[in-house]
Amino acid sequence: MKNSRSNALIEAQNRKTPEITSGFDKISSFYGVNVFDKKKMKDYLSKEVYEKLINSINQGDLINQEDANQIATAMKLWAMSKGATHYTHWFQPLTGSTAEKHDSFFEPSGDGAIEKFAGSALVQQEPDASSFPNGGIRNTFEARGYTAWDPSSPAFIMENKSGKTLCIPTVFVSYTGEALDFKAPMLKAVAAIDKAATEVCQYFDKNITKVNASLGIEQEYFLVDLSLYNARPDLVMTGRTLFGHMSAKGQQLEDHYFGSIPERVQSFMVDFENESLKLGIPLKTRHNEVAPMQFECAPIYEEINLAIDHNQLLMDVMEKVARRHNFKVLLHEKPYAGINGSGKHNNWSLITDTGKNLLAPGKTPKNNLMFLAFFVNTIKAVSEHADLLRASIASVSNDHRLGANEAPPAIISIFLGQQLNEVLDEIESSKVSKKVKEEPTMWLGIPKIPNILLDNTDRNRTSPFAFTGNKFELRAVGSSANSSASMTVLNTIVADQLVKFKAEVDKLIKKGEKKDLALVNVIRKYIKESKSIRFEGNGYSSEWEKEAEKRGLSNIKTTPKSLDAYISAKTVELFANHNVFTERELHARHEIMLESFFKKLQIEARVMGEMVNSMIIPSAITYQNELIKNVKGLKEIGLGNEATEIPMRIINKLSEHLSALKNGIDNMLLERKKVNEMGDSREKAVAYDENIKSFFEDIRYHTDKLEQIVDDNSWPLPKFRELLFLK
């Protein structure tokens, strides 16, 4: 056997685990060394400017030109002391990855050269916006875009063998002010929830002046040997295997989850963790996931903007470090049909500047009124805007999880666990009059919530949105996604709900209702109104689909239609009310998401065609020719039908699959030509989904059949057993 697969197999089998040379010290001794954090700011800045910068970080105060100059100089000095030669604004365009454009500090001057970094260069850069997805925003206005410094996320140094670069986290907006990235709307949503939540907090505690949304992102991923990866054009081009028969052993023995980590993998983990820790990413957890060669890492939660920057950076670091270990990281939601896909669990809570987690139940019913207010408002917000939340996690790759029979389903529901369900049921049915006396276990109709909740919450892995003790966990986010999309939605809808809640409570108070009673009454009303979104059972059973339909919950399985929720009148109003998106920005984003959807399917279809025509069909024909030779030979030596029957049968089987395959590819091409003519993006995306993607399954079926028949020695593509079990 001599083909790309055979070479790859030889390389993969002879891998040596690279030596890790650094990072054996205490983590605290190198954590954050590559970050211009508060301590370094203090060292490098005047006291006055340091304080202004801190206020800007905490309250969003503007920084003037003069102070920006001092900060830029300080950053430059620090970065140069670490060996950096270049700087870049680091931003998150709507491609899903991060973008950078490096400039050197170096500048020629009259008498030689100096290293310079002005405040203006810190605060703003002007990359050409036309080469990034902009959803038509550039056509009507100027192509220019600019990146603007986000002081709430600290600058950091990216290092690799070829040098060190100072990276400055920024937002990316068009010349006319429309957001062209993920961060800008996220920051606005964060501001909206801060404002709305702080106001509601005033009912309970006047000392609270700020509420931070917090996020801990668990990141799932697959690893595959680099040579095997390179021998699979589908993995290289689309991030997933478009073909491949599932190996005899998959995840059925459940022997991978939390199993001992293979040495080569652990070496990679330690390496990327160290790089991440140096960048201030507080990674804490590593373990095997359910599928073979699937793993997970998780940091300690942080303020949401930072958590998302860190997750974006983490994905980048993982990919870079993987090269050193001859691994490829697969962040795709479904690299392999037949085993689990990958997600990104978003653990979300609201934490006050007094250090209180608003989603943590307290010890007494009275204390719990505050918890219940935020808890129930979140449930209500999700029930009001379930379609929008669904849209925010939609992508061509996540459709393989949400639309298929896999956790989590496309139906948005909330899992609370038995105890909290009972609490809500009790509140709902309790009739509170002003005369109700205080009892130790019940106050204003609020029962005591057991404080062992945190350790006791059930783990329902099938729920897209689960309460886990002191936080909600949005599990439906795709492993490759930028969490900003769903977190912008979640924070805005909860902010909106809290504003409405406050208005209703205030109205009752104005009418003469006691404050606590007014709060309980509105909470009770919301519990009733949002009941249909609560579900405790198996989220991917067919019974739930039926039940959900009865309840009127939507179940939009694929991306193009689910994205409609982004431009509904309800959504436009929601985002406008909180200054998060203008209608124009929403339409632009909608367009970008649709385009990305059909372009990615178009690429998959093309790769399928190429692979079938130039790899799979030829290898099947080569094998068929061998068999034909065999039949001829058998006949030559005088053997009859009895002897030739078996090779003849295989020859016929091969022909059957070959012709089905060729027809499938050719018909798909004809259909693509038709669909590509369509001008409207939504129509085109739906057509790609319904008319093109529908060919994939059949083409794959026949290919995978051939894989099982054709001589293993001449099959050109690394097989699942090799991709998944060669460690």
- Give contact residues for ligand ADP (rule: CB under 6 A): 214-216, 218, 298-301, 347-349, 357, 468, 470-471
Q: State how far the Cα of 149 lies from the Cα of 75, in Å rounded to an integer.
A: 13
Return the HEC string of 639-654.
CCHHHHHHHHHHHHHH
Select from Mg ion, ligand ADP, none the partner in contact with residue 44, using the beta carbon and a kind-dependent cut-off of 5 to 8 Å. Answer: none
Select from Mg ion, ligand ADP, none the partner in contact with residue 299, using the beta carbon and a kind-dependent cut-off of 5 to 8 Å. Answer: ligand ADP
Q: Which residue's Cβ lies closest to ligand ADP?
A: 216
Return the HEC string of 343-395.
EEEEEEEEEECCCCECCCCCCCHHHHHHHHHHHHHHHHHHHHCHHHHHHHCCC
DSSP string computed for 416-455 = --HHHHHHHHHHHH----TTPPP-SSEETTEEPPPTTHHH
Select from ligand ADP, Mg ion, none the partner in contact with residue 300, using the beta carbon and a kind-dependent cut-off of 5 to 8 Å. Answer: ligand ADP
Residue 400 CB, nearest approach to ligand ADP (Å): 22
Place of tokens 């907006």: 173
Q: State how far the Cα of 485 lies from the Cα of 470, in Å rounded to an integer.
A: 23
Interstrand relation of 294-299 and 283-288 (parallel, antiparallel or unpaired): antiparallel
Select from ligand ADP, Mg ion, none the partner in contact with residue 576, using the beta carbon and a kind-dependent cut-off of 5 to 8 Å. Answer: none
Residue 481 CB, nearest approach to Mg ion (Å): 16
Select from Mg ion, ligand ADP, none the partner in contact with residue 349, using the beta carbon and a kind-dependent cut-off of 5 to 8 Å. Answer: ligand ADP
Residue 304 CB, nearest approach to ligand ADP (Å): 9
Q: Of 345 and 700, which CB lies nearer to Mg ion in the complex structure?
A: 345
Alpha carbon distances (Å) from 514 to 501, 511, 526: 16, 9, 18
User: Is 537 within 8 Å of 421 (Cβ atoms)?
Assistant: no
Residue 472 CB, nearest approach to Mg ion (Å): 11
Q: How many residues bind Mg ion (CB under 5 A)?
A: 1
Strand partners, 114: 107
Residue 613 CB, nearest approach to Mg ion (Å): 44
Q: State how far the Cα of 614 lies from the Cα of 716, in Å rounded to an integer.
A: 10
Q: Of 488 and 624, which CB lies nearer to ligand ADP in the complex structure?
A: 488
User: Is 707 within 8 Å of 245 (Cβ atoms)?
Assistant: yes
Nearest one of 602, 604, 574 to 586, comparing CA atoms: 574
Q: State how far the Cα of 580 lies from the Cα of 107, in Å rounded to an integer.
A: 39
Q: State how far the Cα of 401 lies from the Cα of 290, in Å rounded to an integer.
A: 15
Residue 418 CB, nearest approach to ligand ADP (Å): 18
Token pair in block for residue 653: 């089987």
Phi first, then psi, for residue 583 (nearest 5°) are -60, -40
Residue 487 CB, nearest approach to ligand ADP (Å): 11
Token pair in block for residue 43: 């060292």
> Scanning residues 306 to 345, which ones bind Mg ion (CB under 5 A)?
345
Residue 304 CB, nearest approach to Mg ion (Å): 16
Return the sign of the alpha-carbon dihedral for residues 705, 708, 709, 712: positive
Residue 348 CB, nearest approach to Mg ion (Å): 11
Q: Of 287 and 635, which CB lies nearer to Mg ion in the complex structure?
A: 287
Residue 261 CB, nearest approach to ligand ADP (Å): 16
Select from ligand ADP, Mg ion, none the partner in contact with residue 624, using the beta carbon and a kind-dependent cut-off of 5 to 8 Å. Answer: none
Q: Of 275 and 296, which CB lies nearer to ligand ADP in the complex structure?
A: 296
User: Is 487 within 8 Å of 215 (Cβ atoms)?
Assistant: yes
Select from Mg ion, ligand ADP, none the partner in contact with residue 73, using the beta carbon and a kind-dependent cut-off of 5 to 8 Å. Answer: none
Contact code string over 435-474 relative to Mg ion, x by CB under 5 A: ----------------------------------------
Q: Of 281 and 520, which CB lies nearer to Mg ion in the complex structure?
A: 281
Residue 470 CB, nearest approach to ligand ADP (Å): 5
For 181, other C-beta atoms within 10 Å of its C-beta total 24
Q: Of 218 and 234, which CB lies nearer to ligand ADP in the complex structure?
A: 218
No. of H helices and E strands in the chain?
A: 27, 19
Residue 654 CB, nearest approach to ligand ADP (Å): 47
> Scanning residues 338 to 367, which ones bind Mg ion (CB under 5 A)?
345
Token pair in block for residue 417: 């666990």
Residue 218 CB, nearest approach to Mg ion (Å): 5
Q: Of 154 and 216, which CB lies nearer to Mg ion in the complex structure?
A: 216
Q: State how far the Cα of 503 lies from the Cα of 552, in Å rounded to an integer.
A: 27
Terminal alpha carbon distance of the chain: 22
Alpha carbon distances (Å) from 49 to 42, 63, 121: 9, 9, 18
Q: Of 53 and 487, which CB lies nearer to ligand ADP in the complex structure?
A: 487
Beta carbons within 8 Å of 417's beta carbon, 6+ residues apart: 453, 456, 457, 458, 460, 467, 536
Q: Of 204 and 467, which CB lies nearer to Mg ion in the complex structure?
A: 467
List the Cα angle 330/333/337 in 5-degree steps.
90
Residue 189 CB, nearest approach to ligand ADP (Å): 16
Q: Of 355 and 552, which CB lies nearer to ligand ADP in the complex structure?
A: 355
Beta carbons within 8 Å of 84's beta carbon, 6+ residues apart: 105, 157, 163, 164, 165, 166
User: Is 348 within 8 Å of 484 (Cβ atoms)?
Assistant: no
Interstrand relation of 465-467 and 414-415 (parallel, antiparallel or unpaired): parallel
Token pair in block for residue 713: 């020695």
Token pair in block for residue 104: 């050197």
Q: State how far the Cα of 533 lies from the Cα of 383, in Å rounded to an integer.
A: 6
Select from ligand ADP, Mg ion, none the partner in contact with residue 196, using the beta carbon and a kind-dependent cut-off of 5 to 8 Å. Answer: none
Cis peptide before 262 (omega within 30 of 0): no
Q: Of 282 and 365, which CB lies nearer to ligand ADP in the complex structure?
A: 282
Beta strands in 483-606 (DSSP E): none
Residue 90 CB, nearest approach to ligand ADP (Å): 23
Q: Of 215 and 553, which CB lies nearer to ligand ADP in the complex structure?
A: 215
Residue 201 CB, nearest approach to ligand ADP (Å): 16
Q: Which residue's Cβ lies closest to Mg ion?
A: 345
Q: State how far the Cα of 152 lies from the Cα of 37, in Å rounded to an integer.
A: 10
Q: Of 412 and 706, which CB lies nearer to Mg ion in the complex structure?
A: 412
Residue 300 CB, nearest approach to ligand ADP (Å): 4
Select from Mg ion, ligand ADP, none the partner in contact with residue 496, using the beta carbon and a kind-dependent cut-off of 5 to 8 Å. Answer: none
Residues that bind Mg ion in the complex, under the rule CB under 5 A: 345
